[in-house]
Every structure is written in C-alpha cells, then in structure tokens.
C-alpha cells in the first residue's frame, strides 16, 4: 500500500480524472476527502470507495471561493484526522472563443476556478500539511498551458499560470517537506472532453476516437493520469518537486 495511513483531498473528485484518482488512492490505503461543486457526484465517488472497503467523505465546495476552500480543509482534518496529499484537479473550460469577443465575466469565471482555485487550494492547505510534517500537492495543468489552445484563451492562460504557481510554491515550501508538482494531461476521455467534443462537432466522443495530433493516436484514460498522480502523491517521487509532468502520449503537429 503506497499511501497507507495518508489522508488525501481531491477536488473535482465527482467525475473524470478526479474520480479515478480518488478510487486509486483509496485502493492504495489513503482516506479520501472527495470534493466537488456537485455534491451528488462527490457523494457517489465517496460511496464507491466505501463500497470497495475504503474510507472516504464527500464535501461540497466551490474551489473558487476562499470560504469553501478553508472549510473543505478544516472538515477533512476534523473528520479524517490529518492532511497529507492535496490534488487540485477541478477545472472548467470556456466555449470555443475568439479573444476579441470574450465575455469579461466568463474570463473571470474560468480564471477563478482554474487558477485562483489552485492558488486557494495550496494556500489554505499549507498549515495543515505543515502540521502533518509535510506532504505532496499535485495541481492539474494541461498541455493547453504549454502549447496553447487557440479557442480557449482563459483556459490556456489559467493552465500556464498553474504551472508557474506550482514552481513558486514548490520552491517556497520545500523547507516544510512539501513537494508541489503539476500534471499536464493531453486529451483524456472524461466528461469534460466529451462536452468539448459535442459542442465543437455535434458528435459523441468515443474512448476509441482517433487523435490525429497525438503520436499515440488515441486519448488517454483517467486511470493513466491517476497512476501519475499516485506516483507524485507517494514517496516514490520523493526527489520530484516544483515541476510540471506532461502526460499526453506524445502530442504535437
């Protein structure tokens, strides 16, 4: 068990990669705080973990709201006893948009969840991680933040910001025995990817859909990302800090 006696809080745990990581971390011995803005989805993930013999609680929180973020950590420590691992994974994406026509409120909304949410999820985790003697923070970037997505200005900017914040926090908090890293996924078959595909093409995305820009020719699975998150959460990655890890099967033009 690679996460025995650890407590992990995962945001966006109600679907996609967050849900896959919650189940995988739990199977490696961690108690899980499954956080999502969608309380029903968070509860479903927590129930699946408990059904498989694990330990989990569900928490409804909007990661863009400081009060919610403070409370999600306070509840985790109160109900699960400590905090060792934080996976800031929740995010949203805007409709495909030309920068010139971008609605200003939509820009703030995406930056609010995807960048401010990660900032809050690190800042308010810190005292609890110090109290535990250290820990691991994993933030979710995207290849969008590395190579940029033409149709997603706020998403791309936020994800580039996540990588920058990850580096700063990793440098500042190494003295507390806290490692901070980011996973930058390529296309992964999740509800988010299905939604984007449906809006852009009017067609349903399938797990087997071909990805011409991916050297592997396919999308990743949520479990393939969760395995990297597990590596970063565990002591197997003890000398990895302040860095983005791209998990995209080889992506480019």
Ligand X SMILES: NC(=O)c1ccc[n+]([C@@H]2O[C@H](COP(=O)([O-])OP(=O)(O)OC[C@H]3O[C@@H](n4cnc5c(N)ncnc54)[C@H](O)[C@@H]3O)[C@@H](O)[C@H]2O)c1
Tell the smallest beta-carbon distance from residue 226 to ligand X (Å): 10
Cα dihedral 56, 61, 67, 69, rounded to 10, equals: 50
* 16 vs 244 by CB, closer to ligand X: 16
Pairwise CA distance, residues 145 & 68, whole Å? 26
* 130 vs 147 by CB, closer to ligand X: 147
Place of tokens 């093409």: 201
> What's the Cα-to-Cα distance from 247 to each of 215, 244, 253, rounded to whole Å?
12, 10, 16
Read off the tokens for 95: 């409709």
**Catalytic site includes residue 155:** yes
Collapsed DSSP state (helix, strand, coil) of residue 167: helix
Read off the tokens for 78: 């109160």
Tell the smallest beta-carbon distance from residue 79 to ligand X (Å): 18
Tell the smallest beta-carbon distance from residue 23 to ligand X (Å): 13
Read off the tokens for 108: 């703030």
Residue 75: Cβ-neighbour burial (10 angstroms; 0-12, 13-18, 19+): middle
* 27 vs 221 by CB, closer to ligand X: 221
Give residue number: closest CB to ligand X.
16
Count of CB atoms situated within 10 Å of the CB of 15: 19
Contact residues for ligand X, defined by CB under 6 A: 11-12, 14-18, 36-38, 41, 61-64, 89-92, 113, 140, 142, 185, 187-188, 190-193
Q: Partners of 10 in the beta sheet?
A: 34, 87
Tell the smallest beta-carbon distance from residue 149 to ligand X (Å): 10
Tell the smallest beta-carbon distance from residue 65 to ligand X (Å): 8
* 29 vs 71 by CB, closer to ligand X: 71
* 175 vs 210 by CB, closer to ligand X: 210
Q: Which of 184, 192, 31, 53 is closest to 118 using CA atoms?
A: 184
Catalytic one of 119, 124, 155, 239 = 155
Report the catalytic residues: 155
């Amino acid at each position: 068990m690679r996460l025995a006696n650890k407590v992990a809080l995962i945001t966006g745990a109600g679907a996609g990669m967050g849900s896959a990581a919650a189940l995988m971390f739990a199977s490696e011995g961690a108690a899980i705080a499954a956080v999502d803005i969608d309380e029903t989805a968070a509860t479903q993930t927590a129930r699946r973990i408990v059904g498989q013999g694990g330990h989990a609680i569900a928490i409804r929180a909007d990661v863009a709201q400081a009060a919610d973020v403070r409370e999600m950590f306070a509840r985790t420590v109160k109900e699960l006893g400590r905090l060792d691992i934080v996976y800031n994974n929740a995010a949203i994406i805007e409709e495909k948009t030309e920068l010139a026509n971008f609605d200003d409120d939509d820009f703030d909304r995406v930056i609010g969840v995807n960048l401010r949410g990660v900032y809050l999820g690190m800042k308010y985790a810190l005292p609890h991680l110090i109290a535990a003697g250290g820990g691991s923070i994993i933030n979710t970037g995207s290849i969008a933040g590395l190579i940029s997505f033409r149709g997603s200005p706020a998403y791309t900017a936020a994800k580039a910001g996540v990588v920058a914040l990850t580096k700063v926090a990793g440098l500042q908090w190494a003295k507390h025995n806290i490692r901070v890293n980011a996973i930058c996924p390529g296309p992964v078959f999740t509800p988010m990817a299905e939604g984007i595909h449906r809006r852009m093409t009017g067609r349903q995305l399938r797990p087997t859909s071909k990805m011409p820009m991916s050297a592997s020719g396919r999308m990743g699975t949520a479990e393939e990302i969760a395995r990297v998150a597990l590596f970063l959460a565990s002591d197997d990655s003890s000398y990895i800090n302040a860095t983005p890890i791209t998990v995209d099967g080889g992506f480019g033009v």
